[in-house]
Amino acid sequence: MNTPILTVSLAFFLALLAALVAALAWTWAPDREVDTLKARWAPAPSHFVTLQGMQVHVRDEGPRDDPIPIVLIHGTSASLHTWDGWVAALSPHRRVIRMDLPGFGLTGPAPDADYSMARYTGFMRDLLDLLKLDEVVMAGNSLGGGIAWQTALAHPTRVRQLILVDATGYPLQPQSMPIGFRLAQIAWLAPVTQKILPRQMIEASVRNVYGQPDKVSPALVDRYYELTLREGNRASLTQRFQYRSSDAALAGQISQLHLPTLVLWGSEDRLIPPDHAQRFQQAIAGSELQVFEGLGHVPHEENPEATVQAVKRFLGLPPALIRS
């Protein structure tokens, strides 16, 4: 008498299983070897340097005789490409150096899977040594901002000026977090999340950090999507999130910074809200703050033309010599 019910239940189960298999097949995205990504994402002037057991993706542009180059450090899950707009405006007049951090972009994972702030600070020190840079202007966004101020604190003679763009530093209490970041923090999901990657999830994550999501183009999503697939990057992101509490414990050190500092923030940043910008300004004596209305967590990428103007003023570039 229960045969029809069992038949329906079995049919439902098989349909559900088929849908699950189809979904997995549609979103299946194994790691890609770095060499398959270089042609699109590392054309000239990209080059690779050997550092700490990694092949680090670097771009070094602008006049070689600049005595104090500008070093740009990207944030979590980003890459050196996030600074394209700033580099276009600054490199005619200043030497500008940027890199893909360990764990991200084409550089890929650190051999020892150490993504602590101390390790990133040591990485920046070693990169400056390798490039024979005695003193620099250091700018960073999000995680890159945290690395920038930590490097300035650890090596005060190496950093002349500091630019913090929606930087990490204080305990993170986001109003909204990209779905990719939320999933990466669930360690038991790693075997799945490191094998599937819906492009729509990357698009949703990027749109989440923009103040004006309509500015997120298919080409921009392509970049974030393909570089996330770089071999080892998804595992690195999960490992990186294990250091959030130790990062937050460093907040008390911010007031020890004593160098010219520019703090830039997007008014619509929901990942690191603008009240963090005010805390940085209050903690760093003499620092300047500019908030950009309508922009989100990556204002330098979302509107490079507007945000780089503040950088030019801070660096004292004569308006007559500036070409954007």
Q: Render pLDDT for 193-202 as a digit per residue (tens, 0 to 9).
A: 888 899 999 9
Q: Where residue 324 falls among pLDDT bands split at 50, 70, 90?
A: very low
The arithmetic mean of pLDDT across residues 249-274, rounded, is 97
Above pLDDT 70, what percent of the chain?
Answer: 90
pLDDT of amino acid 318: 61
CATH annotation of 34-321? 3.40.50.1820
Helix (H, G, I), strand (E, B) or coil at 56: strand
The three-state (H, E, C) secondary structure of 90-148, written as one string = HCCCCCEEEECCCCCCCCCCCCCCCCCHHHHHHHHHHHHHHCCCCCEEEEEECHHHHHH
DSSP conformation letters of 253-267: GGGG--S-EEEEEET
Domain ranges of the chain: 1-30, 34-321
d(CA 208, CA 272): 12
> Strands across the sheet with 96-99, in order?
47-51, 54-61, 96-99, 70-73, 136-141, 159-165, 261-266, 288-292
12 vs 114: which has the higher pLDDT? 114
Question: Given CA atoms 278, 292, 90, 319 in this order, what sign does their dihedral have?
Answer: negative
- Confidence tier at 187 by pLDDT (50, 70, 90): confident
- Using pLDDT thresholds of 50, 70 and 90, give the confidence band for residue 272: very high
User: CB-based contacts of 286: which residues, under 8 Å, 6+ apart?
Assistant: 260, 261
2 has pLDDT over 60: no
Task: For residue 231, give the DSSP letter.
Answer: T
* Residue 7 to residue 12: CA distance in whole angstroms: 9
Q: In the prediction, which pLDDT does 244 show?
A: 87
pLDDT over 50 at 247, yes or no: yes
Q: How many CB atoms lie within 10 A of CB 219?
A: 7
Q: What pLDDT does residue 189 have?
A: 85
